[in-house]
């Protein structure tokens, strides 16, 4: 591992001031970044530890919630306001990693964690455009069972690994960012990129830009919601496919619906097409399957992951049936 300087900052202004220096990386719980340092996939000169920044979880009277970026994953999943107003988010966090990792990992770090594509980590044996732009991608013709079926490019077919981000996408979360050149806020669905011809860029963040908080707008039907993760084993496994869903019914008709998918794309995939198909329709099995078909009509499976299309379709169908029968 290359030697680096370690700094722990106490306020956002200090973090952003250091963040503008080339060769600096922010450090959350370190559960992803330290692995990348050990593998020499990241070689910064300076780590700026941001875990002393905001750990506040602030429920507001209008039903919204402000979450500091240094909040640990366990604390967020267990918070009474999250469990009450946004149970989908609690479930998504608890479906990820292990208790030990969740105790260390921060919200900011979870959003910024890197793909788990095995070829990305295989520095000596595999070609990877995300690691070394222009090198090629060994996953496309290789073992690509875990890879993307939507939004991929001829340069990269990796998936985004986070469970939390799938729930945040469905909930319409807004990400607050600080930067030496000015602050801004973005919908979470605009934070992560599709790979196109720059798979080395995971997000639209500017160099040195710091995530300070996540805001969840009110979701009055947030209790009729769930997160279902389909994976190879019960723990320590990333999603083959996951579905975050919230449903509002008016009698037997779908009044509002929020959908997002994990394990299918380079970013948390908000199900805008399925949502549009469902609104105003009867909440029936046939309508749910038609919506799933619309969402996955553009799916382009690879040699080993064709099963994901049917898996995602069936998981969405099952989740929506479950929510229809749920008493919120
Ligand atoms: C064994 C294992 C199993 C796992 N399984 C799952 C799983 O099933 N599902 C899942 O979702 N995740 C899983 N993870 C990943 C885990 O969730 C991430 O490692 C974790 O969320 C990263 O958070 P962190 O705070 O440790 O980030 P760090 O490792 O500290 O940082 C990650 C990245 O975020 C950047 N960063 C940190 N904070 C900020 C900030 N405030 N602003 C801007 N950039 C920032 C860092 O510079 C770095 O690039 C697993 C991890 C392990 C080790
Ligand atoms: S899929 Fe993306 S991350 Fe994986 S080897 Fe190809 S370029 Fe690298």
The per-residue pLDDT for range 268-290, each reduced to its tens digit, is 999 999 999 999 999 999 999 99
Residues of the chain with pLDDT under 70: none
Indicate which residue's Cα is closest to atom 6 of ligand 2: 137
Tokens 């097409």 correspond to 273
CA of 279 to the centre of ligand 1 (A): 35
Question: Which pLDDT score is estimated for 183?
Answer: 97
Question: Which pLDDT score is estimated for 190?
Answer: 98
The pair of structure tokens assigned to 198 is 């720059």
Nearest ligand by distance to the CA of 263: 1
Contact 128, 138 (CB under 8 A): yes
Residues with Cβ < 8 Å from 68, sequence gap 6 or more? Answer: 53, 54, 55, 56, 57, 107, 212, 213
Nearest ligand by distance to the CA of 28: 1
Question: Which pLDDT score is estimated for 153?
Answer: 98
Nearest ligand by distance to the CA of 71: 1
305 lines ligand 2 (CB under 6 A): no
106 lines ligand 1 (CB under 6 A): yes
Nearest atom within ligand 1 for CA of residue 34: 29
CB burial readout 189-205, b (16+ within 10 A) else e: bebbbbbeeebeebbeb
What angle is formed at CA 312 by the lines to CA 139 and CA 242, rounded to 5 degrees? 80
Question: Which pLDDT score is estimated for 1?
Answer: 84
Nearest atom within ligand 1 for CA of residue 98: 3
Question: Which pLDDT score is estimated for 314?
Answer: 98
Question: Which pLDDT score is estimated for 189?
Answer: 98
CA of 57 to the centre of ligand 2 (A): 35
């Amino acid at each position: 591992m290359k030697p680096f300087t370690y700094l722990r900052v106490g306020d956002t202004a200090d973090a952003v001031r250091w963040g503008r220096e080339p060769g600096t990386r922010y450090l959350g719980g370190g559960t992803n970044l330290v692995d990348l340092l050990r593998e020499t996939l990241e070689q910064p000169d300076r780590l700026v530890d941001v875990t002393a920044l905001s750990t506040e979880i602030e429920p507001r009277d209008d039903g919204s919630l402000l979450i500091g970026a240094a909040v640990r994953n366990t604390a967020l999943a267990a918070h009474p306001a999250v469990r009450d107003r946004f149970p989908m988010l609690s479930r998504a966090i608890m479906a990820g990693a292990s208790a030990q990792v969740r105790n260390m990992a921060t919200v900011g770090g979870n959003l910024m964690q890197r793909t788990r594509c095995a070829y990305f980590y295989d520095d000596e044996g595999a070609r990877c455009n995300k690691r070394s732009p222009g090198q090629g991608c060994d996953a496309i013709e290789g073992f690509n069972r875990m890879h993307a079926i939507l939004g991929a490019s001829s340069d990269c077919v990796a998936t985004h690994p986070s469970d939390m981000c799938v729930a945040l996408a469905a909930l319409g979360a807004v990400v607050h960012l600080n930067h030496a050149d000015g602050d801004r806020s973005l919908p979470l669905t605009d934070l992560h990129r599709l790979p196109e011809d720059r798979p080395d860029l995971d997000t639209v963040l500017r160099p040195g830009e710091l995530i300070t908080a996540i805001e969840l707008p009110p979701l009055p039907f947030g209790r009729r919601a769930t997160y279902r993760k389909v994976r190879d084993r019960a723990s320590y496994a990333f999603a083959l496919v996951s579905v975050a869903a919230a449903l509002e019914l008016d009698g037997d008709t779908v009044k509002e619906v929020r959908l997002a998918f994990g394990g299918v794309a380079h970013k948390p995939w908000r199900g805008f097409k399925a949502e549009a198909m469902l609104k105003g329709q009867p909440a029936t099995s046939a309508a749910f399957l038609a919506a799933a078909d619309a969402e996955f009509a553009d799916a382009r499976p690879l040699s080993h992951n064709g099963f994901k299309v049917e898996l995602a379709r069936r998981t969405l169908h099952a989740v929506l049936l479950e929510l229809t029968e749920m008493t919120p």
